[in-house]
Structure 1
Amino acid sequence: MTRIELDRVSGDFGFEAKDAFGHTVRLDSSPETGGANFGVRPMQLLLMGLGGCSGIDIVSILNKQRQAVEDFHMTIEGEREKGKEPTLWETVHIHFALKGDIDPDKAKKACELSMDKYCSVAATLREARCIITWQVSVNGETVYNNNTLHHTK
């Protein structure tokens, strides 16, 4: 069982979350809803978790294939539902930008395996009917883009 602890430490909505290993994350609401920009919005943290989860998968897969990942940058963009409560993530697009001595086909396959099979955060978002699209570039060249495909439940 996973255990997370949260304490309010700043204003009305400024929380600090701590995992069992003592790692901390600061969370807050937006200033428009009474927050003070003390930390990350909880729904943004979910997208950060998506990036971390898929990034770990992708680097692990590429390392096993003896691909030399020298740099890895992700951009994650999302749109939430309008006019609903709760406002779930409706669409998310990820750009995986890898640099190094990496076979483009292996990079595409590693990203595909993460997004469609291994990443638990991606699976959780898909269960909530979020459409996740992604693209891969290696050394500045786009090698895959499924921005027009829809991944649903």
Structure 2
Amino acid sequence: MSAESLKDTTTTVAPTKPPAKVSVAWDGEHRFDGTRQSGSPSIRMDASGKTGPSPVDTLLCALGACTGVDVVDILAKRRTPVEAFNVDIEGERFAGVPGRVTRIHLVYQIKGAGIEKEHALRAIELAVTKYCSVRDSLDPNMPITWELQLNA
């Protein structure tokens, strides 16, 4: 037998995605521009909130976008495509230092013909509890709640 046919298959390593590589460049005061190192378009973050969302606001936006992608995809697979979609995100913060996020509430506003409430709620639940990598990167004990406004 060749060495190739004797490969050890008892220990398999789960496949991994390539690492996310980004750069953040300071642009004076509290302004930073973040980009992928591959040179994609940048996002502006401003801790003063004058020229862009703060870093914490950006984190909350990332959670909304990450779960949103999953919700839209899940509903499309059900053959009930989304016509309009918005997520309002509120993050409660610790009053001390650091002012970390301690609780998040998401309000999903979904419009689309034929989308049933139970299916939209299930899509949101799956997005938040199973599929969203941003959510899974946060403290697993942080309470995250959500609600749905369907075709409102």
Q: With structure 2 as the length reference, what TM-score do the two structures score? A: 0.80
* CA drift at 1:124: 2.3
Asked if 1:97 corresponds to 2:109, the answer is: yes
Q: Quick one: structure 1 residues 21 and 59, their matched pair in 2 at CA, closer, same or farther if it must change by over 3 Å?
A: farther
Aligned with 2:25: secondary structure?
strand
Aligned with 2:138: secondary structure?
helix
Asked if 1:40 corresponds to 2:40, the answer is: no
Aligned with 1:68: secondary structure?
coil
Asked if 1:122 corresponds to 2:135, the answer is: yes
Q: Unpaired segments of 5 or more residues in structure 2?
A: 1-18
Aligned residue pairs total: 132
- The RMSD of aligned alpha carbons is 1.5
Q: Which amino acid aligns with 2:138?
A: L
Aligned with 1:74: secondary structure?
strand
* CA drift at 1:21: 4.6
Bigger Rg, structure 1 or 2:
2
Quote the Cα distance in structure 2 between the aligned partners of 1:13 and 1:106.
Answer: 42
Q: Unpaired segments of 5 or more residues in structure 1?
A: 32-36, 141-153
Aligned with 1:46: secondary structure?
helix
Q: With structure 1 as the length reference, what TM-score do the two structures score? A: 0.80
Aligned with 1:122: secondary structure?
helix
Of all paired residues, the percent bearing the same amino acid is 36
CA contact (8 A) 2:94 2:100 kept: yes
> Segments of 4+ in structure 1 off by > 6 A?
none
Quote the Cα distance in structure 1 between the aligned partners of 2:70 and 2:32.
Answer: 29
Q: After superposing the two structures, state which structure 1 stretch, 130-139 or 22-31, moved more.
A: 22-31
Q: Which amino acid aligns with 1:119?
A: C
